[in-house]
Structure formats: C-alpha cells, structure tokens
Chains A and B, each alone.
Chain A
Amino acid sequence: MNTVVTSRRGFLKVGAAAGGGLLLGLSSGCSVSGSQTYKTGKPVADDTAQLNAWLHVTPANELVFYLDKSEMGQGVTTGLPVLVAEELEVDPAQLQLRMAPVDDIYKNTAFGMQLTGGSTSISSSWELLQKMGAAARQLLLAAAAFEWQVEVAELRASDGLIHHDASGRSAPYGEFAAIASGLPVPEVVKLKDKKDHKLIGKYNHRLDAEVKTTGRAQFGVDTEVPGAAVACVVRCPQFGGRVEGFTDTRARQVAGLVDVFAISTGVAVVADGYWPARKAADLLEVDWNLADAVRIGSDDMMAEARRLGRESGKTAREEGEPERALAGAATVVEAEYELPYLAHATMEPMNCTAAVTAESCDIWAPTQLQGLVPGIASAITGLAKDRVRVHTTFLGGGFGRRAALDFVVEAVEISKHLQRPVKVIWSREDDMQHDFYRPLAYHRLRGAIGEGGRPLAWQQRIVSPSIEGQTTAVMGTAFFPHWVPDGLRDGILGSARYLQEALTVSRGAVEGADDMPYAIDNLAIEYKQFNPGVPIGYWRSVGHSHTAFAVESFIDELAHAAGADPFAYRRTLLAQAPRHRGVLELAADKAGWGRAAAGRYQGIAVHRSFGSYVAQVAEVSVAPGGKLHIHRVVCALDCGRVVTPDIVVAQMESGIVFGISAALYGAIDIDQGAVSQSNFHDYPVLRINESPQIEVYIVDSDEAPGGVGEPATPPVAAALTNAVYAATGQRLRQLPVKLKA
C-alpha cells in the first residue's frame, strides 16, 4: 500500500479542500462523521481499500460489502446490501458479500454489542448503511475529480461507474478506490428522498437464493478445517447435574476414537468423524453428580406458577383503580392461560468449530452473538481478546437459540485441551434436550364489564422465569478480563442475577402485556418471578410469544361476554391506537370478516412487537371428533418503511408457520429434571401438508422501519384459538391446543 500512501499524501491537501468544497454546499444533509471514523481497527483483508467499515474495494475492482449481521433466513444478505447500494448507485448483486469480523464498529446500535436479534437488523442499519453508501459515493466522486482534474459537479455516479459526460469518459469505482480510501469521511451527506429510491421498497430478488439451491452455502456444520477432529458431548440429562466420573473402556474400542475427557458441560468424545464420535458417545458410561440437579417436572412447575399467581407481584403498569372497579362490576370475567417450555429446533443442530493454539484462537460459528465470542474464548484460553478471530457462517435457523454461546464454549474447551482444530456437532437429541427454552408462562386475568359491554377493568398477573436474570449469569463471563479468578467472577455474576430477579420486572416476561393497547380506565399488569432451574432463553418474539396469546384471547373473551363482535369490540377500544386499528381493519377487510364460507369460522388477533403492528385472521374448520383444519391465515402488517417487500412477506409467512407449530404441537415436558422430548417424532412441527394458505398485506407507511423477523409469530395462536371458539364454543386456554371431540 506504500505507493498509494505516497500519492494519497499529496492528494490529501487538495482532496480535503475538494471534499470540503463538495460538502459545504449541502445544507440539508445529515451528519455522518462527527468524531467517528467509521473504519475498522483492523481491515480484514490487507489488499483492499477501505472506504468505510462496510465497503471495501479490491485491486480487481470488486466492491466488497462486509455484512455485520448474521443471516439466519431473515434476509439480511439482501436487505443490508440494498440499503448501501441505493446510495452507492450500484446493483446490489454487484456487491461481493463477506462476513464482518468482530469489531467495535459493528456493534448493533440497539444493544451496544455485535449481535443479530430483536428484529433490529433493518431498523438499526437503516440510516447508517444509507449514509455509508452515500459517503463512499462522495469519496469516489472526489477522487475521480482529482484524478481527471475536473469539477466534482461535472461527474455522475451510476451502476458502479463514474461518468464525466462532457468528455464521455467513464471508469469503474475501483479505479478511484485507493485514493478515496485515504480521504476523510465526509462530515455531511444528503440521502435520497423516498420518491427517488430505485431499490428501497422495490427490490424483490433474494441475493442468497442461488447459493442456497446448489448445496454450496456454507453453514457452520460445513466448516472444513484441515486436520480437524469431530466431537460429540455427552451432557447430563438432568439440568444442573455434573460429571462425577466416567468409564470409557467400551467407547475407546471404537475405530477412529481420538480422546475422551470431561469439559464444563459434560464429557467430550472426540473422533476422526461424526459417526465414530457418536457411536463412542453412546457407549460411554457417565456417573452423574445430581446433588444440584433439578428433580421436579414441568407439571410441578406449572402447579407452582398457579400457586404464585394467587399472590400479588411487582407492578409493571397500573392505571386507575382496578380492584375497586372489579369489586363493583356486574360482570367479572376470569381466565387462566398456560403455556409450556418450547424448544427452538433450528434445522441445523448446534455446532461450532474452533482451532486453539498457543498464540491464537479461530472460531467458525453459526452464531447470532459473535460480539461476545472473543470475551468467552479469552476467558477459556487465557489468550487476549485480540488473539481471537471469529468467522461467522450461514446459520441454519436461529430463532434466538444461537444468541447463546454454549456450543462455542464446548468447541473452544475441547480444541484447547487437544491443541488441534475440532468441530463439535450436536445430535438432534442433544439439541432438543439441552436448549435454552422459551420459558413456561402462567397468566391470570380478571376483567370487569360495565354498561353497554364496555370493559371497566383489566387485571393481569404473569408468572414466568426471568430471561434477563439468567442471561446476566450466563453471558456475563464474556465481559470479565481473563485474569479474574473463576470464583470471583461467578460470585459477582450470581449476585447480579439475584438482584436482577429480586428487584426488577422481567421485560422478557411482560412485554406485549404492559403495553397492551386497549383503552381501559382501570388497568394493572403484575409480574411474579420464579426460577425452576430450567435453562431459558430468547425464542422468536420472546415474551410476546405468550403475552399476545393471553391478551388477545382475553379481549376475545370480554367481547363474547359483552355480546359484541370480536373485531368491532377491538376496533372501538383502539380508537386512540391508529396503527393497531389500521392493521386490524385491513386484515378484517381482506379476510372478509364475518363472511366465511359455510362450515368455516374466523378468529382475529392484533399485536405490536419490535416496532411493528400485525393483525391476523385465521379461518378454520373443526371436523366431528375434534380434528382441526387451518385453511387460511390473512395477515396485515404495518412495519413502517419497507426495504425488500417480498422478504417482508416471506417473514410474515415464516413467523405464522412458526407460531402455528407452537400452538398445535409445541411442548417441552420436564420429568424429574430431564426433557422428555427428543426428536421430531415427539416434538412435531408443521409440515407442508398442514400448512395453510397465507395472504400478507403491507400498509404503505412513512414511519421508521420496524422489525419483521418476529412480529408475525405472537398473534397467530390467539387468532387460531379464537377461531376454534367461534367454531365450537371451546375456549382453549392452554397451549398446545387440545380440542375435545
């Protein structure tokens, strides 16, 4: 790069002036740089010119886009390139995509760490990546102006080329990249108006579709590192159990076995391939220490939740005097809703590949949380964080499961022990029985109905474990320097967890309930924490996955108790909630609310989550004997500004199918501290022959973008059970559903 630096140095004086002259003319632009350089501390490949952290140009004129979010199906490999390409004036398909390394510059602005979750990829990148595209274009124009000795105003950027129309000259961006990369990032850029967008709101290809139809897409489990061994881990079936000892005599007789040893999560069985490792793991005899193990079952846990639901909890929201209103009401409706633990069951079982040496640690992981990987690996290996390199692969599904790092910990521990590359592969049974589950939840609701059927009071008590409490304890390790002794670290994290659970209302338990949109004067939402010792985590839509079911079932119950139409009842109570009401009316209109064909029945639900509003109408029939058939789901969405409309539609379809799987079948049962389910035969998910017709309608909106990966999941269970009530009069208050004959 030295030759470039020399010419760049000479250019900088002129270039700074040229850049300044270019930018001073923009009065209505938005701030880009401030004190930010928008560059990575360590460029990923040493032969590329870095325009900013997301856009590099190779000597071969390839425009490289560094993707700082994980692709797990939600479409960031298209959506984020479209944002940058709109302003950079290139076809998104011209961008070479590479996964970004871990770097502070790539921290998700919604969380302050590098992660993909909370349906934030578009909302957190929306303005930033447009600015980066615009800033890069301006740098390239300024560099071209210098190179050609013309005014910037005479130049035009389009389709990856810079044109000087007066002289008929044009050249690809890459020719100016080296000079442009040495220029300061512009202070101010002006972004296009919506009406001038060629890509945002219009682009309907999926950039990762081709590679995902050839078998060439590289998922975590496809990582091939020369000399790598394959490991299976035998974990205690009971949560909280530890390895006391093991007998590996039979396991060691399997041809291809490399080693057997204890690690923090169980016993690692390492071989020269998955099959010998699995066979040996099945032959291993482990003596488990169950002193701290969970002994009870999920029935006991739900019974305890019901008991706790009789006691008052911490207040999440309170308005008016709900107790008094309930005491004085002519009609009081009471209901309890119960939802089980759920597994994520991503199609790609958990896996991770690590190569630990005395000097460095390389990790190839299908992860949603690469930002904490260096800290975790540093704590295990004793290497400094900057000696850890993270390579994010495609994710074969995420749904929140891959925001946990247990599989990364295993790979690093095993590779450190063997000082050779190791790929850890979980079986489906491992995956289902050692998940971080959607917590079980118990909701107790009481509602008062007054004159004309109007609801006077709504009291909701939620009993569910605190995801934040557990996350503090589990993930906190990544934040400690590696020299802090384990005992001190665990003590601090344990105290932090205790304080979190004792003093706070878990957002992950009440979200979607404490922002319930219906206009009711007397309102109380309470939270009661309990911790049965089962690992829990973020499951597509988190707390909304159970609060929407309780809220949208109970408002339906109030409507029926009031003798009102469920759609009209909601609509009246949403007079002050225009975006809720907008999607509710759109869904009802498109579904032909109230005009279902003979023998078919409709249910409706509306819910806001992750900045987006979704209403759904489910249309079902119930055959004699109680066989439920879901014919159609009509979905209306207001997610603000849309980037890639067809991917938004796909995410609605996806979230609906995911929610129906949970509503019809999803249940993880715990028996004496161990998970009863093991594979898709006893944890069934929706198949193509059961998949309903899905129609999606998107509200044209100028609001800021909301999320789309999760918001379609919350309302569908209630839409479905409300339809079953319309069909049969059975009010289903427990999931998964069980219809009476």
Chain B
Amino acid sequence: MITFMFNGERQQLDVAADMPLLWAIRDHLKVNGTKFGCGKGLCGACTVHLDGAPTRSCVLPVAAVAGRAVTTIEGAEHDPVMTALRRAWIEYGVPQCGYCQSGQLMSAAALLNGNSRPSDEDIDSAMSGNICRCGTYSRIRKAIHRAAATLASPGDTAGIEQYAGAGFGNFVELKAVAVAPAGAREEGQS
C-alpha cells in the first residue's frame, strides 16, 4: 500500500511498487490529463509536479512518491500561475493536436514558479524536454512570456478576457460513452 498526496488529497494505492506513477494515475486513479508518450522520460508528455518539481511520471516507480505530493494538470487548474499560463495558451492559440500540452503546461508552470521573468534561453532550457510534434514551440515561447507579464502586473489582461468563459467547454461532448451490457443499447432510433 502506497500513500501519497494527489492533487491535494490523500490517496492510498495497492499496486505493484514498480508500476510507473503515470499508470497508477491513469489506470488506477482514472485521471487522464497526464499523457503517455514514450515510456522512457524522453518526450515530457507525462510531466507532473512532485513536491513542486517537474517530474516525468512514466519512469518514476509509484513507490518513490510515498509520503510526497503529486500534482497533475487537473490539480493545478486553479493555481494562479497555471491560470495565467492557460489564458496565454488560449490567447496565442498554442494547442494543435493538444496531446503534449498537459506536459508543456506543467513544465512551464514549474519554470515560472522558480523564475518569474524567464529569458528565451531560460525557456528553451526548461522546455527542451517536452516534445511537440505539431511544432507549437514559437507560440509556447510567446505564451510563457505573456503569462509572466500578466503575473507581474495582474491588471494587464487586455486581449485575454474575451477568450475566457465564452462557451469553450463544448468538447466535453467528445468523451467516450459508457457501453451498456450486451445488446442493451441502441443508438439512433427516433
């Protein structure tokens, strides 16, 4: 039994000690924002915060987080730094396929938590472990600068508010539908 803090709540898991944290989160806690990309700590899609530090969860045995605090993209949702980053991500239209973006945002949040006004070089250095095959890199760079500026002067939200809360939650509809037992469900009858 492994006990740790997960997104602010105490969790106990009875899983193999060598199971990577990623699969404990996805398969056992059923929290899916953290993504599987390479399984070798090479692409950054699985980045979470371990006691605040960016960590590749696909190569970290779950036993190693006993007694520590794990935060995923879901747990960071209302964090002020993450909120500023998300707004900048939306303002600059950063995501394309979006699969790597949880990891990108977690790495970016860790960067801004330790460096409130990063240079381009700081960004390159902190973000070079996160691969994006859609090539959103130049927008990620701009968005991190933007979020840093917003956090430095919270009143400066010009161009951002219009994007927030304007009915952008439609895509929850795209989630998978549960299957009823054999033959019980019939779609599309009217």
Chain A positions near chain B (C-beta within 8 angstroms): 1, 42-46, 71-75, 77, 91, 93-99, 101, 204-219, 221-226, 230, 255, 273-276, 345-349, 353, 355, 357-360, 362, 364, 389, 391, 393-399, 421, 425, 427-429, 646-647, 650, 653-658, 661, 679-681, 685-689, 691, 693-694
Q: Chain A residues with Cβ under 8 A from B36's Cβ? A: 221, 274, 349, 425
Minimum C-beta distance from B7 to chain A (A): 11
Contact A226 B172 (CB under 8 A): no
Q: Chain A residues with Cβ under 8 A from B43's Cβ? A: 347, 428, 680
Contact A345 B183 (CB under 8 A): no
Given A396-B97, A653-B139, A681-B40, verify A217-B72 contact (CB < 8 Å).
no
Contact A43 B138 (CB under 8 A): no
Contact B97 A394 (CB under 8 A): yes
Separation of A99 and B176 alpha carbons in the complex (Å)? 11
Q: Chain A residues with Cβ under 8 A from B177's Cβ? A: 391
Contact with A along B14-52 (1 / 0, CB 8 A): 001001100100111010111111111011010000000
Contact B90 A207 (CB under 8 A): no
Residue on B nearest A655 in the bound complex, by CB? B135
Residue from the list A96, A212, A654, A680 in contact with B98, Cβ < 8 A: A212
Q: Chain A residues with Cβ under 8 A from B93's Cβ? A: 204-206, 209, 646-647, 650
Separation of A204 and B131 alpha carbons in the complex (Å)? 25
Separation of A681 and B42 alpha carbons in the complex (Å)? 7
Q: Chain A residues with Cβ under 8 A from B145's Cβ? A: none
Interface size bucket, B side? 35 or more
Residue from the list A74, A275, A661 in contact with B23, Cβ < 8 A: A275
Contact B123 A688 (CB under 8 A): yes
Separation of A73 and B26 alpha carbons in the complex (Å)? 23
**Is B116 interfacial (CB-CB < 8 Å)?**
no
**Is B127 interfacial (CB-CB < 8 Å)?**
yes
Would you list which residues of chain B between 147 and 190 have a CB under 8 Å from chain A? 163, 166-179, 182-183, 185, 187-190
Q: Chain A residues with Cβ under 8 A from B30's Cβ? A: 224
Residue from the list B125, B128, B130, B174 in contact with A98, Cβ < 8 A: B174
Contact B179 A421 (CB under 8 A): yes
Minimum C-beta distance from B82 to chain A (A): 9
Residue from the list B39, B99, B141 in contact with A219, Cβ < 8 A: B99
Residue on B nearest A78 in the bound complex, by CB? B93
Q: Chain A residues with Cβ under 8 A from B123's Cβ? A: 688
Residue from the list B74, B105, B131, B185 in contact with A685, Cβ < 8 A: B131
Residue on B nearest A209 in the bound complex, by CB? B90
Residue on A nearest B168 in the bound complex, by CB? A210
Contact A273 B27 (CB under 8 A): yes
**Is B86 interfacial (CB-CB < 8 Å)?**
yes
Minimum C-beta distance from B137 to chain A (A): 4
Separation of A101 and B188 alpha carbons in the complex (Å)? 10
Residue from the list B26, B45, B131, B171 in contact with A211, Cβ < 8 A: B171
Separation of A44 and B182 alpha carbons in the complex (Å)? 19
**Is B70 interfacial (CB-CB < 8 Å)?**
no
Contact B168 A211 (CB under 8 A): yes
Residue on B nearest A221 in the bound complex, by CB? B36
Q: Chain B residues with Cβ under 8 A from A691's Cβ? A: 135, 137-138
Given A347-B43, A360-B183, verify A275-B89 contact (CB < 8 Å).
no
Contact A397 B133 (CB under 8 A): yes
Minimum C-beta distance from A708 to chain B (A): 12
Given A215-B33, A221-B36, A358-B182, verify A273-B95 contact (CB < 8 Å).
no
Q: Chain A residues with Cβ under 8 A from B128's Cβ? A: 687-689
Minimum C-beta distance from A224 to chain B (A): 6
Given A205-B93, A689-B124, verify A46-B98 contact (CB < 8 Å).
no
Separation of A346 and B177 alpha carbons in the complex (Å)? 25
